[in-house]
Amino acid sequence: MSASFGLFRLQQVDSRINHIEIRLAKIQEILDNDAELRDALEQVKAAEVEQHDLERAQQKSEEDAHNQQIKIQQAESSLYGGSVHNPKELQDLQADIVSLKKHLANLEERELEAMLKTETAQSALKTARANIEKTRTRLGGEHRQLLDEQSSLMRDLESLQSERRATTNEVVTELLAAYEDLRKERRGIAVAEVSENSCGACGSSLSPAIQQSARRAAQLVYCPSCGRILYAS
């Protein structure tokens, strides 16, 4: 058995651990990120403010129209009440009523516009509220799935770590140190399997002599190109 056999098994375990750790970090990032929900909440708040303002404007326009109607009623009761006899005064009153009614028509038009705007704002608010509910439900489902995946990955990680301890026990301390150093230098991959006469990590072709050593030698054999430990079955 070659010197690199134990390290090759260790490398396989470490690569799986590495893979799981990357996925766990990604899951945590997704769970921590509530940007989508905050956006939906902002939209609801903005729609609430808009609706509130428009309702106030509508109320104001209703009051304006109502007050105008009262003014008209007062002028009409003066006109028809019999208390005014002077023809000039009666004529003035009639002219006032015409102008008051003209203004009332304007006010009523504004009132209608305000009502339509309020209705639009109310339906926008309804949509925003429905949207946040949908977002909550969807994220809830997604998060539950992620939490399930997270606990299953944690279990895998635990068993890989005990597998790692067992594998490490079978490797000579000096070889282990060389392995750990190389892993740091070579982005996590210290051992490359020889495959189709080439280094499985960097792809450069290997001489038959090197391949033979990798298969048999008691010393570690390194890839001449990338410097990784070579393992050949």
Nearer to Zn ion, 12 or 225 (CB): 225
Least distance in angstroms from the C-beta of 206 to Zn ion:
8
**CB closer to Zn ion, 123 vs 205:** 205
Is residue 225 involved in binding Zn ion (CB under 5 A)? yes
For residues 4 and 118, which CB has a smaller minimum distance to Zn ion in the complex? 4
Binds Zn ion by CB under 5 A, chosen from 7, 199, 221, 232: 199
211 binds Zn ion (CB under 5 A): no
Which residue, 54 or 230, is less far from Zn ion as judged by CB?
Answer: 230
Residues 105-124 that bind Zn ion (CB under 5 A): none
For residue 202, state whether it binds Zn ion (rule: CB under 5 A): yes
Task: For the chain, give the secondary structure using H, E and C.
Answer: CCCCHHHHHHHHHHHHHHHHHHHHHHHHHHHHCCHHHHHHHHHHHHHHHHHHHHHHHHHHHHHHHHHHHHHHHHHHHHHHCCCCCCHHHHHHHHHHHHHHHHHHHHHHHHHHHHHHHHHHHHHHHHHHHHHHHHHHHHHHHHHHHHHHHHHHHHHHHHHHHHHHHHHHHCCCHHHHHHHHHHHHHCCCCCEEEEECCEECCCCCECCHHHHHHHHHCCCCCECCCCCCEEECC
Stretch that binds Zn ion, among 11-19, 100-108, 163-171, 191-199 (CB under 5 A): 191-199
Among 190, 206, 223, 229, binds Zn ion (CB under 5 A): 223
Residue number with CB closer to Zn ion (58 or 183): 183
Site residues (vs Zn ion, CB under 5 A): 199, 201-202, 223, 225-226
